[in-house]
Amino acid sequence: AQALLTPGDLAGVRVVVSAGGTREPIDPVRFLGNRSSGRQGAALAAEAAARGAEVTLVSANISGEVLAEVRHPSIRVVSVGTAAELSEAMTHESSLADVVVMAAAVADYRPAAVSERKLTKEGGGIPAIELVENEDIVAALASQRRSGQLVVGFAAETPEDASELLARARRKQHRKRVDLLIVNEVGWERGFESPENAVHILGPNGADAGSASGSKRAVAAAIWDAIARAR
């Protein structure tokens, strides 16, 4: 009952969270993708809604099962497939947002041409798929941010050691001009598809804003604490 009477610390805050991973079509039956399940981003949306925010979750290929876990009256879901669709949705949805969190794993490249018909082995030879670079969505959002709006990026890294992890992350934060960067160490067994996560948080200007580990919901709570401190 207390939760119904006490407004959360994000009451009335307009939040847009992207989550999941883009899929770049090769032909009608194949795509280039990545292993992001969308669970960390979905947990961020759920945590923000529980704390009173008005949330738009831009879902890039998140399964119905994961989305069902985070249904909430204050979460509106917008579904996208490719990086180009994600870019368009984020530009549109973030125009009135107070906080934009870019947790989606975006394909860095897409096939230069999408085959209208399924590629087959009949022609012989191993096909080469020419790639072109996708736009950096979070960098574009950060460069267009309205005054008072916070833009939060993520970085999934597979570093050789901890100091390399943070040095790379700080360069990435500076390059993209995001206010906060959530740094995720990932590997074959870590980060993806798992219920647990561990992150470092870089605050404005690369300042150490702490770290968090545990369930993706617990990590989401720590990330919103850091965002609330930076606002």
The only residue of 10, 57, 80, 106 in contact with ligand CTP, by rule CB under 6 A? 106
Q: Give the whole-angstrom CA distance, residue 46 versus residue 11.
A: 14
Token pair 């610390």 is found at 9
Site for ligand CTP in 132-161 (CB under 6 A): 134, 136-138, 153-156
The only residue of 57, 60, 104, 220 in contact with ligand CTP, by rule CB under 6 A? 104
**Local structure of 173: helix, strand or coil:** helix
User: Which residue ranges are tagged as binding site for CTP?
Assistant: 108, 118, 154, 172, 176
Q: What residues make contact with Ca ion under the rule CB under 5 A?
A: 108
Q: Which is nearer to Ca ion, 172 or 217 (CB)?
A: 172
Mask of contacts with ligand CTP, 181-200, x by CB under 6 A? --------------------
Minimum CB–partner distance for residue 155 and Ca ion (Å): 9
Minimum CB–partner distance for residue 34 and Ca ion (Å): 9
Q: Which is nearer to ligand CTP, 66 or 140 (CB)?
A: 140
Judge whether 184 counts as a catalytic residue. Answer: no
153 contact choice in Ca ion, ligand CTP, none (CB below 5 to 8 Å, kind-dependent): ligand CTP
Q: Give the whole-angstrom CA distance, residue 171 versus residue 136.
A: 15
**Local structure of 109: helix, strand or coil:** strand
Q: Give the whole-angstrom CA distance, residue 190 versus residue 192.
A: 6
CB crowding 34-66: b at 16 or more within 10 Å, else e: bebbbbbbbbbbbbbbbbbbbbbbbbbbbeeeb
Minimum CB–partner distance for residue 169 and ligand CTP (Å): 9
Q: Cα separations (Å) of 73 from 35, 95, 133, 172?
A: 28, 21, 37, 35
Minimum CB–partner distance for residue 19 and Ca ion (Å): 15
Q: Give the whole-angstrom CA distance, residue 61 versus residue 23.
A: 8
Contacts with ligand CTP by CB under 6 A lie at 83, 102, 104, 106, 108, 134, 136-138, 153-156, 172
Q: Which residues are catalytic?
A: 34
